[in-house]
Structure 1
């Protein structure tokens, strides 16, 4: 009975936030220690064998090495750079994939150990991902925006829910293409299955969604700001090499562009046409065409490239073209885009700093430090030590609020300050997604209110 309760409890936990391991299959009797596994590389006519150990590792016969991750075992055994081990290893005794046992384990999730509304959400996500997996296996992957994907978990950005989301996707044998971490919130992604038996990594392995299966444990650090975080990968305005400069000039003038891509097919980038290249071409030939004005010295980068790595190219060229997971030219990032993004990141940081310092200034001129200390859970030696949360606790006290003497409603004011405290926590945790515009506006309006009433001090 105790072991059964343990199994149910762990099944609940598995669907709550981490990735399934082979050891979990052992604990639930879905595989036995000593079970034999095989990995058939049909394309090269070779088979690899392995054994499941008592502690849930995979010991590859030819190597004698043990691996905690099915993908790690398959990659090293076959010398491949990326492979989905859950869909590569077959259990010899019944011919099922390890992935089938993993899905059976997930199906054992039984509601009841959490509040009903939370169980309902968890089961809804589980069913939705089951449907997505079925469509992916039928080569008809579901497509949705990153924002819609996050919304399945009730998340609005890639913050605290990110590990949960990645674990749930991985447990259902799914990944996104392109990788949902490395693009904007409004970029469309497909829910697909990662690389499995018989599929090699492409020549250029930097594309993130093709490398996600390298670590089944999900413990890789992935907090980079990428090129794709600035480009929605929805396509670029372009002209053909045989087009006219009048067409180019009209398109650039209508949309206030400084450059256009010159494409001869979605993957065949010939270069770019810029105002400067047009001027140089027509200086030598008033009847110049697009072909005469092409600047071929353009930089093309993968969408999941680290943004900091391409800053020198941006400084020199002012723009880079971006290719998606299928190597099509689908985006552009300019120096203006980078300046705008860093402005989005810096603005709430500085506004929060001003709110924090203004609150301290007001409290310092209204209360004695000893009185303020009574509302703090740690030792405060000066008003400069106060956090926004501690200032909030001071102002939540009715007696302190009355002494402040502001003609404002305490409950409404402190509720907004609590919202600002939560924004502050997000900003100070350096989440990659920008703070929503409505939150920035709330910061500005709250700060205006503070400045208006601090004059009374």
Structure 2
């Protein structure tokens, strides 16, 4: 564990409320993303130290600031008779990072706004300067009066309205709290083209999420699944009709005989079982591949580990080097396929 975590604990014990970012907290534990295992480890360390983060480090943007505070003591009366408060931890579901709209960078970037009485020219200039399609119309950081956009300006001009102030081209704005689940918010974003995001703590408008932001987020979440699916298809093609059913069944763990019986084709194998086939010299020789078996299996094992992380659908996505690993291995399989034709 990083010494900074211990320094933070000392600060809290002495009555201070130190701050950090989620990314920095992860770094203290040698991690860069909120994987299930690392979230569980961090939460366990925080629980043992009697510390909480505000807001919850699993429910905010990875670069959001969090404050470390002393947790409130749970009264013994709130637990069943004869049970120690700490005993109840064993029955809690494992903590995982949530998919909330607050996880998006756009929801935390702040907003560029104009006052209702500001000129339309000012709004247009700001949209051009920042390459925005819309602006918030606000009287202060919490009071959202509406929105002005190229679309609302065009509508008003088409009716030959005399536009002078931002309020003359303003329409109602739609806002969601940052605690809104991302997938539930998706329909609202699509319907309205964009939504403003409010802090559930102090009601400040913290950002605006557009349909473009949403598509970029889903691309980052879905691309690893597509790459892994492509790799699995390439592996199945490589193994097709090379082994008998009994040989395929040998890739299954001896500890699970019922699983072995279910394997009747290459498509029934797991990714780990594919790897187990490649690792056996006698099976490798049957594939007649002109590459080093050890290097190939190391690369494939790295893909297997990435695959396990991706299947947890981490809201922080995967690292760039993991994307590179998936693409690189897929290219290798393509090249081996072309050489074999």
Give the number of aligned pairs: 314
Structure 1 residues 236, 174: closer, same or farther in 2, change over 3 A? farther
Alignment of 1:378-397 (within 5 A): 378-379=259-260, 380-397=263-280
Higher normalized helix content (fraction of residues):
2
Structure 1 unmatched runs, 5+: 1-120, 198-215
**Separation in structure 2 between the aligned mates of residue 179 and residue 275 of structure 1, nearest angstrom:** 37
Contact (CA 8 Å) 1:314, 1:320: kept in 2 or not?
yes
Alignment of 1:118-137 (within 5 A): 121=1, 124=3, 127-134=6-13, 137=15
* Pair 1:249 & 2:124 matched: yes
* Pair 1:219 & 2:92 matched: yes
Aligned with residue 249 of structure 2, among 344, 363, 373:
373
Aligned with residue 230 of structure 2, among 350, 354, 375:
354
User: For the aligned residues, what is the CA RMSD?
Assistant: 2.7
Q: Larger radius of gyration, structure 1 or 2?
A: 1
**Separation in structure 2 between the aligned mates of residue 182 and residue 399 of structure 1, nearest angstrom:** 49
**How much does 1:162 deviate?**
1.2
Aligned match of 1:341: 217
TM norm structure 2: 0.81
Aligned with residue 430 of structure 1, among 313, 327, 333:
313
Contact (CA 8 Å) 1:182, 1:303: kept in 2 or not?
no
**Separation in structure 2 between the aligned mates of residue 163 and residue 308 of structure 1, nearest angstrom:** 24
* Pair 1:271 & 2:154 matched: no
Structure 1 residues 422, 267: closer, same or farther in 2, change over 3 A? same
**Separation in structure 2 between the aligned mates of residue 435 and residue 168 of structure 1, nearest angstrom:** 24
Alignment of 1:109-124 (within 5 A): 121=1, 124=3
C-alpha deviations, 1:88-124, integer Å up to 9, x for none?
xxxxxxxxxxxxxxxxxxxxxxxxxxxxxxxxx38x4
* Pair 1:185 & 2:62 matched: yes
**Separation in structure 2 between the aligned mates of residue 132 and residue 385 of structure 1, nearest angstrom:** 54
**How much does 1:421 deviate?**
0.5
SS across alignment from 1:262 = strand
Alignment of 1:150-169 (within 5 A): 150-159=26-35, 160-169=37-46
* Pair 1:363 & 2:239 matched: yes
**How much does 1:176 deviate?**
2.4
Structure 1 residues 339, 184: closer, same or farther in 2, change over 3 A? same
SS across alignment from 2:299 = helix
C-alpha deviations, 1:275-296, integer Å up to 9, x for none?
111223444444422121222x
**Separation in structure 2 between the aligned mates of residue 417 and residue 169 of structure 1, nearest angstrom:** 36
Contact (CA 8 Å) 2:5, 2:28: kept in 1 or not?
no
**Separation in structure 2 between the aligned mates of residue 196 and residue 386 of structure 1, nearest angstrom:** 50
Contact (CA 8 Å) 1:299, 1:320: kept in 2 or not?
yes
**How much does 1:450 deviate?**
0.9
Structure 1 residues 224, 393: closer, same or farther in 2, change over 3 A? same
**Separation in structure 1 between the aligned mates of residue 228 and residue 291 of structure 2, nearest angstrom:** 21
Contact (CA 8 Å) 1:177, 1:190: kept in 2 or not?
yes
Structure 1 residues 222, 442: closer, same or farther in 2, change over 3 A? closer
**How much does 1:346 deviate?**
1.8
**Separation in structure 2 between the aligned mates of residue 331 and residue 445 of structure 1, nearest angstrom:** 36
Aligned match of 1:206: none
Contact (CA 8 Å) 1:322, 1:333: kept in 2 or not?
yes
Structure 1 residues 354, 266: closer, same or farther in 2, change over 3 A? same
Contact (CA 8 Å) 1:129, 1:172: kept in 2 or not?
no
Alignment of 1:35-434 (within 5 A): 121=1, 124=3, 127-134=6-13, 137-138=15-16, 141-159=17-35, 160-193=37-70, 217=89, 219=92, 224-231=98-105, 233-283=108-158, 284-295=160-171, 297-324=172-199, 325-377=201-253, 378-379=259-260, 380-434=263-317
Aligned match of 2:336: 453
Compare relative contact order (CA 8 Å, sep 6+) and give the higher one, 1 or 2: 2
Contact (CA 8 Å) 2:120, 2:163: kept in 1 or not?
no
Aligned match of 2:77: none
**Separation in structure 2 between the aligned mates of residue 222 and residue 439 of structure 1, nearest angstrom:** 21
C-alpha deviations, 1:331-350, integer Å up to 9, x for none?
11222222222222222112
Contact (CA 8 Å) 1:315, 1:335: kept in 2 or not?
yes
**Separation in structure 2 between the aligned mates of residue 233 and residue 241 of structure 1, nearest angstrom:** 23
**Separation in structure 1 between the aligned mates of residue 297 and residue 161 of structure 2, nearest angstrom:** 68
